[in-house]
Amino acid sequence: MTALDDTRESLMQLLLASGVPVSRVEIMGSATLGAQRSSLFINVYAGPNITEAVAQILAPGARVVMAPEDDAALLRLARAAGAPVAQVLAASNTAPITGAAAIVVSKISGESIPRKILRDLDERGTGDDLAADLGMALAKIHSVPVDELPSNLVRVDNAHVHEAYCDSLAASIDDVGVPHPIARMGVHWLRQHLPSRPNATTLVHGDLRNGNILVDCGRLAAVIDWELGHVGDPMEDLAWLCLRTWRFGNEDLEVGGFGSIDSLRSAYESAGGTWREDAFRWWTIARTVWWASGLTRQATTFLDGNSDSIVLAASGRRVVEQEYDLLRLIAP
Q: Which residues in this chain contact other proteins in the complex, by CB under 8 A? A: 170, 173-174, 179-182, 184-185, 187-188, 249, 310-311, 313-314, 317-318, 320-321, 323-324, 327-328, 331-332
Question: Which lies closer to other proteins via its Cβ, residue 24 or residue 115?
Answer: 115
Dihedral-angle region of residue 255 (phi above 0 means left; psi in -120 to 50 means alpha; beta otherwise): beta
Geometric angle at alpha carbon 254, from 322 and 75, rounded to 5°: 90
Question: Which lies closer to other proteins via its Cβ, residue 248 or residue 275?
Answer: 248
Task: Output the smallest distance, CB 165 to other proteins, in A.
Answer: 16
Question: Which lies closer to other proteins via its Cβ, residue 10 or residue 300?
Answer: 300
Give 292's Cβ-side CA count (13 Å radius).
28
What single-letter amino acid sits at 256?
Answer: G
Check the CA dihedral 147-171-213-127 and report its sign.
positive
- For residue 308, the cross-strand partners are none
Geometric angle at alpha carbon 109, from 107 and 111, rounded to 5°: 120
Question: Which lies closer to other proteins via its Cβ, residue 9 or residue 321?
Answer: 321
Burial (CB < 10 A; 0-12, 13-18, 19+), residue 154, is middle
Task: Output the smallest distance, CB 40 to other proteins, in A.
Answer: 15
Please report, to the nearest 10 degrees, the dihedral formed by the alpha carbons of residues 265, 270, 273, 277 taken in order.
30
Task: Output the smallest distance, CB 32 to other proteins, in A.
Answer: 8
Question: Which lies closer to other proteins via its Cβ, residue 27 or residue 97?
Answer: 27
Task: Output the smallest distance, CB 201 to other proteins, in A.
Answer: 27
Task: Output the smallest distance, CB 275 to other proteins, in A.
Answer: 26
Geometric angle at alpha carbon 256, from 252 and 262, rounded to 5°: 60
Question: Which lies closer to other proteins via its Cβ, residue 132 or residue 289?
Answer: 289
Task: Output the smallest distance, CB 211 to other proteins, in A.
Answer: 13
Distances (CA, A) of 58 to 67, 93, 98, 211, 246: 10, 9, 10, 21, 27
